Every structure is written in structure tokens, then in C-alpha cells.
Amino acid sequence: MVAGSLRRPGLPPPRSPELLPSDPSLDAYRQAFELVDLARYTVNSLVVAALIVPSSVLVASWAGFAMSRLPARHARALVATSLVALMVPLTALLVPRFAIFRTLGLTDSYWPLVAPALLGFSPFYVLLYYWSFRRLPGELFEAARLEGLSPLRTWWRVAMPLVRPVTTAVALLVFVYSWGNFLDPLIYLFDERLFTLPLGLRSLAQLDRQNFPLLLAASVVATLPVIVAFLYLQRFFLQEGARRRWTRGAA
Amino acid sequence: MAGVAWTGVHKRYAEIEALRGVDLEAGDGELLVVLGPSGSGKTTLLRVMAGLEPVSAGAISIGGRDVTHLPPARRNVAMVFQSYALFPHLNAAENVGFGLRAREVPKRERRERVAEAARVVGCSDLLGRYPAELSGGERQRVALARALVRDPDLFLLDEPLSNLDAQLRAQMRAELKELHRRVGTTMVYVTHDQVEALTLGDRLAVLDAGLLQQVGTPDELFRRPANRFVARFVGSPAMNLLNARVDADGLVAGPLRLPVPPEAARGRPLEVGIRPEGVHLADDGAPAYVRLVEPAGSEAYVHLELGDEEVVARVAADERPPPGATVRVTVSPRDIHLFDAESGVRLEWSP
């Protein structure tokens, strides 16, 4: 993808594979930014992700924590409900969702994109948190209660620090989803100034279907943040993996 | 500092009744040990005192103050859990200071109190380490320091020594007793280990199936068990219990004959209890067959078949008979306990 993006725009694809184009150039990048407002789309995508990721983590972990503290009977009922909710195909929700947001007058804004995050994004993440919290020894939470911590502070001071790898994973998954989400922005966003990167790429492809260096350059721009995010967060996975023994050792 | 009391405490879970009307109190500064087998309700007794579980009926008081409906944090009790429940993501100092931080004690005072608590339990040099880097005994100390630092009215300890190896357990037992003497705070200590209970407690409460069986000093429990359960549960090896009857000639239990007046039995079917140290091997007496000998250092436990019953005798190691031998056994009437065979209640009598 990178190699292709460095070719001069307008040239046909090479006949044989090449590691680097013989005459590399950044023209494709310049053109991509000129033809469509790639910079604005990138910022838009980042804004959307910045809204979605923290609120998903917050709400999913709250819900999971609450579930893990409920009596087993109630928690089981909620798990069953979550699983049922997970089985509803998202495509089945497209039309009713659109109808709801249009009635509320929230189309052509980021609300429809952010709204799922305010509900924990997906029952899957709630369940992920629920299972992680449930695996922690209950005595830790009882000790916190005896020390006078409110449930909210127990969540923040005791529960969350002990499931950091889960938080990393949830944040990354939600980020990747939000970053690559094409369908929802396509449905809800009409104003070009609000477009996110996937929509931008799409309009670029529609402008010049044959200009591969151009499309590849834009794709590189769109992919880079995800790779950077992964490389950055990967350290946490490894570190937490090595430190996991504390949970087992001390509990 | 304060005494504590459970009054008519019931605790029902969905299907089981963990506590069935417990009346118990511990005086100011007392070390009360609650002893019972697993499932007896002893941990529930602690948890309702701490406020981690509501009672189904009855009342809880600390220092004369009714705390039945107060949340745990407002009861000013500290609990040491069986697993210690140290926070794995915090080092020892942060663990000890956790409650102070939650109560927004200023940093400087917090540091001083943490250092002081650590000094008292002897874990000052461990404060920078994380729970995973501590041994069982060290975690125990940190957990004790965390309980101590808040200066609670009451300490609750839930089998705090059960995760330690035997040697460390004996050492920590002694240290706990010493700690209690120094800080003078009321302590309620729950255990299933009768050796721990007998050595540690000022007073013992024996609990079984949610009912208090007997409360008394270790001596009282050992010398005058109130019923069959206490008799079997306190003392190691356990007391021998034999079916017996009393007729005009005295007490008859298999081949054993003891001079016990008939009125001791009050006309009821009996069980006679004899501690292993009360069973003596002698030149004459009831014949018994040696089935098994368990050496235990300076002494040995001899399993005997006495008629249809099995009896354990505790003898000096160099006096133990070989397995398979036939020996003769005598029992002094002073060493026997009589229990009603049906209710299991102790029947008092004097030789």
C-alpha cells in the first residue's frame, strides 16, 4: 500500500511487483489532500473516536461492575438479556434507528454515532467487563466497603486498576470500529464538513476510480492512526500480561 | 474500644439458615474466639458484625451502640480476611493507608500512622513492596497493619492463619496474642482449628449449625463440655464416645465396668465420653485389641477395639504396644463425661 502510494498519480499499475517505485513521489498525497478535505476528515474521525472510546469504556465498565456486584440470580438474567441483544443483527436496526434519530432531529450530527457508546457501545463489552470483574476476589470489594469507599470510588480505585488489560482491549476494539465505520456515517451524515475518513475515501474513489496511487495514499493516511494506536497500546498488553500474577498471587 | 454483642441474631440465606438465634457478647478488650466446623455459621457471625451482610432478625451492638442498620464504614470495625484481601495494585504502604486515604486523612498524618502501624506489627521494611512480592506471613502482617491503622473499636479476624504453614502459624499465633495484649482492642477471632482456639482465646464460643453450643474459657470447654458436639470438637485426638448404660452395679460400656451411681443416668440411655489421655493401659482391666498405632513424637495414639467400639488411647511413646497385641485398659471414673444418648446434653454427676 505504501509502495503503491508513492507512485506518480495517473500512471498505470506496474507490470511486475516492485518494492519501491523507480521514481517515488509524494504527489499522490498532495493530490489526495487537495481533491478532498482529507485533513478535516481525519480531524472529524479523531473527534468521533475521542467521543466514543472514553464513553464506551466508562459506560461498559460501569454496567459490568454493577452486574458483577449483583446477586448471581439477577446477574444471570442480565447476562442472558445481553446475549439475546447481541444476537440481534445490526443491519436489522438500521432502519428503525434512522427513523428514531430523524424523529429526534439528530441526523446530520455526531449524535447517532456517539449514542451507542453512551450505552456501553455493545453488550459484548459490558459482558467482557462483567466477566473480568467477577473473577476478582469478592473480599477485595468487601475490604473496600469496610474502608468506607462508595461504589463509584471502589470502581475507580479497586476494580478498574485490576482490569487494565481489558480496558486496553475494549478501547482499542472500539477505536478500530469507530475509525473504520463507514455505514453509520454514510447513513446519518449529509454535510460534507462532518464527514469522517471512510466517507472521504469513498468520495475520493468516486472522483477518480482509476488513480490507484491517489487512493492508496489516502488509505495510508487513514490506516496510520490505527497502527500507531496498536503499537502504542501493545506495550500495555505485554506489561499487564507479565504483571497478571499479582492478581493471582495476592488473592 | 468497646464490647460487642449479638442479640438473638438470625441469618437466613435463600435455602439455609446460617445463624439460628445467637446470643453472644465479648467484653471490652476481650479476645473472643469463635470455634466451629466449616458451615457452622462462624464466618456469617463475623460478616453480620462487620455489616457486610444484614441480619434477618436480631440486633448487633458495638460499645453499647446499636449498629444493626449501620453501613460497614460507620461501624468502625476492621476485618482481616482469610485471603488478606490486599489490593494487588497497591504496595504495602498504600494498602495500609488505603482506608485513611478514603477518609481523606491528610497525607502527612497518613504517612505517620502507616509507619506506626507497620512498626507495631513488624512490617516496616516491607512497605515499598507489592503483595505479590510478599510471603504469606508478610501479607498477614500487612493485612494486620491495615486493620490497625484506623484505630478501630473492634477487630474481626476470619481464619487469618489458615493460609500459613504450620510453623509460621504457631509463630503468628503467638504474635497475635501479644499484639492483642498491646493494643487492647476487642477482637473476635474465627477459626475451625481447636488448637488455635484453645491457645489464643480468653473465652471460646463453639458454634455448630448456626447454634451456639457452649461459651466458656478454654479450660471450661475442655473439662466440662456442655454436649457431645463440644466434647468431640474440642481436644485432639477427639474424645472417645461409647454407648453405655448404668445398672445397679455401675456403668457398663462394652467390656468396661465403672463405679458410677445409677442415679447419674437418671434412667436415660447414655453415652460415656473418655479423652484419649484418660484411657490407661494396665495389667488388668477390660481386654482390648490393638488395631493401629500412630506415633506422634513423644507420645503415640493407640487405636483399640474395645468390644464393638473403637477407642483411642494416648500413651507415652516408649510404652506403646505393638499392633495386633491384646492389652488391658482401665479408666478412672474421674475422667469420664456422661451425655444423654438422645439429646447429647451433658449429664452432671460426681464420683
pLDDT, tens digit, 9 for 90 and up, residues A2-39: 777 777 776 666 777 777 777 777 788 888 787 778 88
Interchain contact, B83 vs A251, CB within 8 Å: yes
For residue A147, the surrounding DSSP H or E stretch is: none
Q: Which residues of A touch B83 (CB under 8 A)?
A: 137, 139, 251
- Amino acid A232: pLDDT: 83
**Are the Cβ atoms of B88 and A247 closer than 8 angstroms?**
yes
Assess whether pLDDT exceeds 70 at residue A246: no
**Helix (H/G/I), strand (E/B), else coil: B164:** coil
- The answer to whether the peptide bond before residue B237 is cis (omega within 30 degrees of 0) is yes
CA distance A143 to chain B (A): 7
How far is the alpha carbon of A165 from chain B, nearest alpha carbon, in Å? 13
The minimum CA-CA distance between A76 and chain B, rounded to whole Å, is 16
CA–CA gap between residue B234 and residue B206 (Å, rounded): 9
Q: What is the pLDDT of residues B39-58, one digit of tens each?
A: 888 999 999 999 999 999 99
B31 pairs with which residues across the strands? Answer: B187
Residue-level pLDDT at A160: 92
pTM for this prediction? 0.80
Enumerate the residues of chain A whose CB falls inside 8 A of the CB of residue B162: none
Q: Which of A178-192, A202-216, B69-83 has the lowest mean pLDDT?
A: A202-216
Residue B106 φ/ψ, nearest 5 degrees: -55, 150
- Residue A148 C-alpha, separation from nearest chain B C-alpha, in angstroms: 4
Q: What angle do CA B50, B216, B68 make, to 5 degrees?
A: 20
Flag if A162 and B89 touch (Cβ within 8 Å).
yes
Closest CA–CA distance from residue A145 to any residue of chain B (Å): 7
> How many interface pairs between A and B have CB atoms less than 8 angstroms apart?
73
Tell whether B151 is within 8 A of chain A (Cβ).
no
* Res A92: pLDDT: 85
Query: What is the distance, to the nearest Å, from the Cα of residue B152 to the centroid of all Cα atoms in its chain?
Result: 23
The string of pLDDT tens digits covering residues B200-218 is: 888 999 999 999 999 999 9
Instruction: Taking residues A145-160, report their average pLDDT.
Output: 91
Triad B45, B46, B49: Cα angle to 5°: 90
Contacts of A144 in chain B (CB under 8 A): 98, 102
Conformation bin of residue A85: beta by default, left when phi > 0, alpha when psi is -120 to 50: alpha
pLDDT digits (tens, 9 = 90+) for A60-112: 999 999 999 888 889 999 999 989 988 888 888 888 888 998 899 888 888 88
- Closest B-chain CA to A143: B85
Asked whether the predicted pLDDT for residue B134 surpasses 60, the reply is yes
CB-based contact, B16 to chain A, within 8 Å: no
Residue of A nearest to B151 (CA): A147
Strands (E), B81-163: 154-158
Phi-psi region of B58 (alpha: psi -120 to 50; beta: other; left: phi over 0): left
Give the mean model confidence (pLDDT) for residues B95-101.
Answer: 91
- CA pair distance B48, B77, nearest whole angstrom: 12
Residues 6+ apart with CB under 8 A from A138: none
User: Do residues B345 and B339 make contact, with C-beta atoms less than 8 angstroms apart?
Assistant: yes
- Exposed / middle / buried, residue B116 (Cβ in 10 Å: 0-12, 13-18, 19+): middle
- AA identity, residue B131: P
SS3 B68: coil
Note whether A245 contacts B132, CB cutoff 8 Å. yes
Residue B202 exposed, middle or buried by CB count within 10 Å (0-12, 13-18, 19+): middle
Contacts of B82 in chain A (CB under 8 A): 139
**Interchain CB distance below 8 Å, B131 and A147:** no
Q: Cell numbers for A120, please give them.
A: 456501553
Q: Do B99 and A246 touch (CB under 8 A)?
A: no
Per-residue cell: A28: 499522490
CB contact under 8 A, A246 and B88: yes
| Residue of chain A whose alpha carbon sits nearest to that of B83 | A251
Helix, strand or coil, per DSSP, at residue B337: strand
Amino acid identity for residue B5 in this structure: A
* B61 close to B67: Cβ distance less than 8 angstroms: yes
For B19, list phi and psi in degrees, rounded to 5: -130, 130
Q: Which amino acid is at A74?
A: H
Is 50 exceeded by the pLDDT of residue B21? yes
Q: CB B98 to CB A147 under 8 A?
A: yes
B139 touches chain A (CB under 8 A): yes
Across the interface, whether the CB atoms of A148 and B87 are under 8 A apart is answered no
Alpha carbon A98 to chain centroid distance?
21
The upper half-sphere exposure of residue A34, i.e. CA atoms within 13 Å in the direction of its Cβ, equals 9
- Round to whole Å and give the CA distance between B274 and B332: 9
* Contact yes or no for B122/B128 (Cβ under 8 A): no
Q: Which of B85, B98, B139 sits opposite A142 (nearest CB)?
A: B85
Q: Are the C-beta atoms of A34 and A9 separated by less than 8 Å? A: no
* Pick from A233, A103, A237, A111: nearest CA to A175: A233
Distances (CA, A) of A243 to A48, A160, B90: 32, 15, 12
3-state secondary structure B26-80: ECCCCEEEEECCCCCCHHHHHHHHHCCCCCCEEEEEECCEECCCCCHHHCCEEEE
Question: For residues A248 and B135, is the Cβ–Cβ distance under 8 A?
Answer: no
Q: What is the pLDDT of residue A240?
A: 57
Per-residue pLDDT at A133:
94
Which residues are CB-contacts of B123 (< 8 A; sequence separation ≥ 6)?
A: B92, B138, B141, B142, B145
